[in-house]
Amino acid sequence: MPADAFETAVGHFWGIFGTRDYMRARYNLADTLSRSGTLDGVIEALDHLRDMLRLCRGDNMGLRHLVPPLMLQLDQDQECYDFIKWWVTAGRDEHYDWGDIDLPFLNVQGANVFEDVKYMNEKRGDFRLVCGVLLLKMKLLVDIINIKLVRKVCANDGRLPPELWRHVERHVTRSPLSRQWVGKPDQEVMDVLRKLESNVVHLARSLHTMNGLFASGLLDPNEYLAFRPGYYSPGSFEEMQLLLAFSYATWWQHEGVLELLQSAKFITAKESLLEDLGGDSLWVYFDQAVDDAMSLDRIRPSEIRRRLETKK
């Protein structure tokens, strides 16, 4: 590697052939750290990846796809959305000059995580980055569901004064972004819940268009996690397998998210008896899975609805 690479080649390391062994070795270190499963390992891996992107803005190694899952594990949710939004907007601008390191880079800050996500469609989106936003939206959705559940439990119990409910609500939300809804009026909470629900369905259907194998793989991942394909093509089995290898741990660590998807799959099976329960059909009944998750009743709303429709 050139002795002055850190002074003269910052921003386009991969373009200097002599830096590639260094970049590969540092990637292997970051990968090993992230797979350790420890908090310190994830923090250090993320630091390496972000610095490697500073060294090579064009990201010839695809490191940008590994960053969002680590950020979400660390609850750096705003930073995660800002990072992804830059890559799917400015990062896809055909006029952006990757060789000019004086141009703004990863400079999105404080983007509205609750905004409409239709700009992130299958034509403009990046499969693995859109998947990161999907998980973030589901993380927020589970938090809002938990706020609703706390209010129902406290109201039914009757012993805790309403002015103290917000303290309990704060403890059932994981994302720092969700805490703005603690103590807010019920209608505002329901409005944001329905908006997140709509965002999730839109993103999931965009993902299904990009790769129809992902949802089924996510819900039954065991046979896919042991392998990391060396190459893939868009929409392929290998693409799905690689995404699961790098992100499944993050999905698994977010309590309530996979359970919500499994519930939607169960409702789909009972409603339609479709064979492709992991595909686009999963999202047809996602709203019912959300309603079930908010219910304290022994018989879930989806089951009541199904019985009523059966009697018609």
pLDDT digits 0-9 by tens, 205-254: 999 999 999 999 999 998 888 888 988 899 999 999 999 999 999 999 99
Q: Which tokens is 18 given?
A: 């002599």
The verdict on residue 286 lying in a domain is: yes
Determine, yes or no, domain membership for 135.
Answer: no
Task: Please give the average per-residue pLDDT across 39-63, as a whole number.
Answer: 97
Rounded Cα distance, 172 and 150, in Å: 8
- Among residues 30, 42, 85, the alpha carbon closest in space to that of 249 is found at 42
CA distance to 152, 174, 177, 260, per residue, from 182 (Å): 14, 12, 10, 22
- CB of 196 closer than 8 Å to CB of 81: no
Q: Where in the sequence is the domain holding 306, given as residue range(s)?
A: 256-312
Average pLDDT of the segment spanning 262-291? 78
**Distance, CA of 170 to CA of 53 (rounded, Å):** 35
Number of domains in the chain: 1
Domain presence at residue 191: no
pLDDT at 184 over 80: yes
Residue 118 belongs to some domain of the structure: no
Contact 268, 284 (CB under 8 A): yes
Q: Which residues contact 224 (CB under 8 A, 6 or more apart)?
A: 217, 240, 241, 244, 245
Q: What global pTM score does this model have? A: 0.93
Q: Provide the mean pLDDT of the chain.
A: 91
Residue 275's pLDDT band, with cuts at 50, 70 and 90, is: very low
What would the pLDDT profile of 17-37 be if each residue is shown by its tens digit? 999 999 999 999 999 999 998
The answer to the question of residue 308 being in a domain is: yes
In a domain, 311, yes or no: yes
64 inside domain: no
Q: What angle do CA 70, 83, 248 make, to 5 degrees?
A: 30
DSSP string, 231-270: ---TTSHHHHHHHHHHHHHHHHHSTTHHHHHHHHHHHHHH
In terms of C-beta density within 10 A (0-12 exposed, 13-18 middle, 19 or more buried), how is residue 84 classed?
buried
Note the pLDDT of residue 279. Answer: 58
249-275: string of b/e by CB count within 10 Å (b at 16+)? bbbeebeebbebbebbbbbbeebeeee
In a domain, 223, yes or no: no
